[in-house]
Amino acid sequence: MKIVSQIKTPIEAEMELFEKKFSNAMFSKVSLLNRITHYVVNRKGKQMRPMFVFLIAKMCNKGIVNDRTYRGASVIELIHTATLVHDDVVDDSNRRRGFFSINALWKNKIAVLVGDYLLSKGLLLSIDNDDFDLLKIISVAVREMSEGELLQIEKARKLDITEEIYFEIIRQKTATLIAACCAMGAKSVNASEEEVENMRHFGELIGIAFQIKDDLFDYGDEQIGKPTGIDIKEQKMTLPLIYALNNASKKEKSWLINSVKNHNKDKKRVKEVIHFVKDNNGLEYATSQMKDYQQRALSLLQKYPESPYKSSLELMVNYVIDRKK
């Protein structure tokens, strides 16, 4: 967490004020809803998404943010939280960041309604303040996230994922929301269309690198030293596995697909798949792709003058691929 607090340093005051504004944005006349949203607010994660909004806004606008920046960060966080609540229902998940998920405590019906409430709160926050340009950015992101999830489900049934489709899925599922944060930060301080697009692209590159890093965790990391194989058990086609598949012989390919499709609960078989991917340079290939996206993201920051905000964004890009969990 030391690096995260270092990244936060130039926007500490903004993040404090943001938390107050965000709590107020959640308020409702229904006490059950307030109890649930209070639970949600108190179990927040690292808050990377609002941090992107503030850092980009300050870098693009000589260190100055405005009310639109706070609203943009709140809209992102409201809609992101709504998608997490709905995701837990879809995945039938009882845990979120080490705490019970809303559906585990209050059942699916309430969780779906709370997700809908948060979504509408986000939309209204933009509409009530005529922030239609900000609303467009987040609406496109929500559409893309839904498409990405559905594309992944469709492809998981056949396991016919090419590298191109894989990148399309993670661009939509993971990268599109980080891209929206960065575009939102620039747009909130009225940056030019070109600059907003550059920052959107910057966020997209980071988001893709972030997801590849997540893929790599499934094959174990230095600290734990044990592979998890969770993605294989869930029949998720990740980059290391796709690379190994594409470079396997016909016999190896059918063994791999059969293993993922029909033997994903067999611990010994999952271990064998992990070893095959490792032995066939799947991890090296995914790592080199991740570093390529990282470098492309960093190069987009080069034209900006040195500032604490730019330094924090560079730290953030490096943290995404150096993190241990």
* Lookup: tokens for 317: 């890009």
For residues 12-27, give the mean pLDDT: 86
For residues 26-46, give the mean pLDDT: 75
DSSP state of 297: H
* Lookup: tokens for 311: 């330094």
The model's pTM is 0.90
CB atoms within 10 A of CB 265: 9
| pLDDT for position 224 | 45
Q: Are strands 95-96 and 99-100 parallel, antiparallel or unpaired?
A: antiparallel
Please give the Cα distance from 186 to 55 (Å, whole number): 9
| pLDDT for position 89 | 72
Please give the Cα distance from 198 to 185 (Å, whole number): 12
Check if the beta carbon of residue 232 is closer than 8 Å to that of residue 248: no
Higher pLDDT, 161 or 296: 296
Please give the Cα distance from 211 to 292 (Å, whole number): 13
Check if the beta carbon of residue 163 is closer than 8 Å to that of residue 243: yes
* Lookup: tokens for 158: 């056949």
Distance of CA 292 to the CA centre of its chain: 18
Please give the Cα distance from 243 to 251 (Å, whole number): 16
| pLDDT for position 44 | 65
DSSP state of 305: P
How big is the CA angle at 180 (ends 177 and 181), to the nearest 5 degrees?
90
For 159-187, the pLDDT digits (tens) are 777 899 999 999 999 999 999 999 999 99
Higher pLDDT, 159 or 315: 315
Please give the Cα distance from 287 to 282 (Å, whole number): 9
For residues 142-148, give the mean pLDDT: 92
SS3 state at 100: strand
How big is the CA angle at 147 (ends 115 and 187), to the nearest 5 degrees?
75
CB atoms within 10 A of CB 23: 14
How big is the CA angle at 134 (ends 129 and 136), to the nearest 5 degrees?
115
- Spatial neighbors of 13 by CB under 8 A, at least 6 apart, are none
